[in-house]
Amino acid sequence: MTVSVALAAPHPAAVEAGRAAVAAGGNALDAALAAAAALTVVYPHQCSIGGDLIAVVRPAGGAPRAVLSIGAAARNVDVAALRAAGERMPMNGPLSVTVPGVVAGWAALADLGARLSWAQRLAPAIELASAGAPVSAGLARTIRDRADIVEADAGLSAVFGGLSEGDTVAQPALAASLTAIARNWRTFYKGHLAHRLAAGLAALGSPLTADDFAAHTAEVTEPLTAEAHGARWYAAPPPSQGATFLAVLGAADLLTTSRRAQLARDALLGDPRTGDVDVDGLLLRTTGAFAPVAAGPKPTGDTVAVTAVDEDGTAVTLIQSVFQSFGSGLLEPDTGIVLHNRGSMFSLDPRHPGRIAPGARPPHTLCPSIALTGDTVLALGCQGGRSQPWILAQVAADTLAGPDPAAVVGRPRWVIGSRDVGYDQYTLVLEPGLPASLAETAAGLDLDVVTTTGLHDDAGHVQVARLSGGVLSAASDPRADGIAAVL
């Protein structure tokens, strides 16, 4: 029996892949997974099977679950050498690569109630990679703006070097990797594909081994929860910054609370598997002041969010990412896989909860959320780097209850950050049309103020899917290249 699905994604090919999944009898999970796979082909500057995945899923009639497929640092990583080389982790290159979590994340999501086979869900992505797909405006801009990164790597330059918008790019090596995953996804971690990728990474200078790949598992766990706007909200626990979103959600003074939450996150977020993480502190349930911690460079491409809800009430919001545009700046030629640079988020401070250690997972910006109330199920997610919590908080109430989610995601927004939004000092970045009182508040929060000339990528790419009163709706942010549809 087919079901209708509301789906939003940042590229039309992803929504078409979701449409094919629904036509084949899939539900919201199948549509989201098909869309996510397609995005790894057509948006390689933002996501890849060489990246990570975090999601929140609500099976129809069931309790929401969080999926964290965050890859760890190599077991034989030389922490002392990294500390001797500088004060910060390398922002790209082989030492910034951690085990990719996307494929195991897809498997964990499928196990929560998907209907279709791997071959059915990945068929559109494999076709896009083998036959070729047009270069989108966003991909073309990144190839141009990050030409130094693309040309510096033999793998990237061979596939993407010199391409312009509208050119067709085929990725046969990636098509072969996706085909192998469709036959048996475990090959990415414990089979032939894992060994080929590990060997390629070793040749590029990475300490990751096949044993590191074999050790990876996706974590399926209880989400963090909070009440706000008349609903129960669910977000992923650490090392995701989901607690930061819940800390600011529904705040009377969102800017002031976001500044407090930002400082707490930068000081407290880490991996609970390798040390204590103060979740109450992240949720601002304890008092305390934190000194500012300098953010890393601007993440640029960063992330894609996919949201889907079906008429049965199954909902998923997933985010997958390579972090910076083209991630580590490495495409492993034998497999066609772009590798992320999530390891650059580790701290080299041995006292920090997010410190690098063998087998540790880095602090993560990905921040998907689901809300439930009465007859409404909302899936909400965004691109936006470290600003995702306050981006989502600005649209949460009206995407939950407003009549037109598309109008809500198109409204002007603000973000706060420093180097992660392109400024040396901590700055409030305003889109035109926001209240003047925000700039006045910023003066008391040690924030510079900048106003953009229009809607801006730094304010995030929000994706929304909703079932309310039996009616499905979806919205895709006008700041991105995507679309939303009820399939």
Residue type, 318: L
Question: Of the ranges 4-18, 26-40, 291-305, 429-443, which one carries the lowest mean pLDDT score?
Answer: 291-305
What does the pLDDT average to over 258-267?
Answer: 94
Rounded CA gap, 463 and 484, in Å? 8
What does the pLDDT average to over 402-413?
Answer: 95
Q: Give the Cβ contact number of residue 357 at 10 Å.
A: 18
Confidence of residue 385 (pLDDT cuts 50, 70, 90): confident
Rounded CA gap, 473 and 465, in Å? 6
Confidence of residue 292 (pLDDT cuts 50, 70, 90): low
What does the pLDDT average to over 365-380?
Answer: 96
What pLDDT does 291 receive?
56
- DSSP annotation of 345: G
Q: What is the pLDDT of residues 439-475, one digit of tens each?
A: 999 999 989 999 999 998 889 899 999 999 999 999 9
Q: How many CA atoms lie within 13 A of 7 on its CB side?
A: 29
Is residue 443 packed enough to be buried (19+ CB in 10 Å), middle (13-18) or exposed (0-12)? exposed
Q: What is the pLDDT of residues 167-186, one digit of tens each?
A: 999 999 999 999 999 999 99
pLDDT at 298 > cutoff 50: no
Could you tell me the two tokens for 287? 């008092």
What pLDDT does 394 receive?
98
pLDDT at 119 > cutoff 70: yes
pLDDT at 383 > cutoff 90: no
Instruction: Spell out where 335-438 has E strands.
Output: 337-339, 369-373, 376-383, 414-417, 427-430
Q: Which of 142, 303, 399, 427 is the catalytic position? A: 303
Query: Catalytic annotation on 303?
Result: yes
Domains of the chain, earliest start first? 1-482 (3.60.20.40)
pLDDT at 329 > cutoff 50: yes
pLDDT at 297 > cutoff 70: no
What pLDDT does 302 receive?
56
Please, are residues 64 and 314 in contact by the beta-carbon 8 Å criterion? no
Three-class SS state of 364: strand
What does the pLDDT average to over 296-309?
Answer: 70
Confidence of residue 293 (pLDDT cuts 50, 70, 90): low
Rounded CA gap, 298 and 296, in Å? 7
As separate numbers, helices (DSSP H) first and strands (DSSP E) second, the chain gives 18, 20
Rounded CA gap, 157 and 141, in Å? 15
Q: What is the pLDDT of residues 142-155, one digit of tens each?
A: 999 999 999 999 99
pLDDT, mean over the chain: 94
Q: What is the pLDDT of residues 64-89, one digit of tens each?
A: 999 999 999 999 999 999 999 999 99
Give 219-277 as a DSSP string. Answer: EEEPPEEEEETTEEEEE--TTBSHHHHHHHTT-SSHHHHHHHHHHHHHHH---TTTS--
Confidence of residue 300 (pLDDT cuts 50, 70, 90): very low
In sequence order, what are the residues at sequence separation of 6 or more whose Cβ sits closer than 8 angstroms to the Cβ of residue 285?
none
Could you tell me the two tokens for 407? 């109008």
Could you tell me the two tokens for 288? 């305390």
Q: What is the pLDDT of residues 388-400, one digit of tens each?
A: 999 999 999 999 9
Q: What is the pLDDT of residues 212-256, one digit of tens each?
A: 999 999 999 999 999 999 999 999 999 999 999 999 999 999 999
> Which residue in this structure is represented by tokens 């192998």?
180
Give 116-136 as a DSSP string. Answer: S-HHHHHHHHHHHHHH-EEPP
Pairing of strands 369-373, 224-228: unpaired
Residue type, 20: A
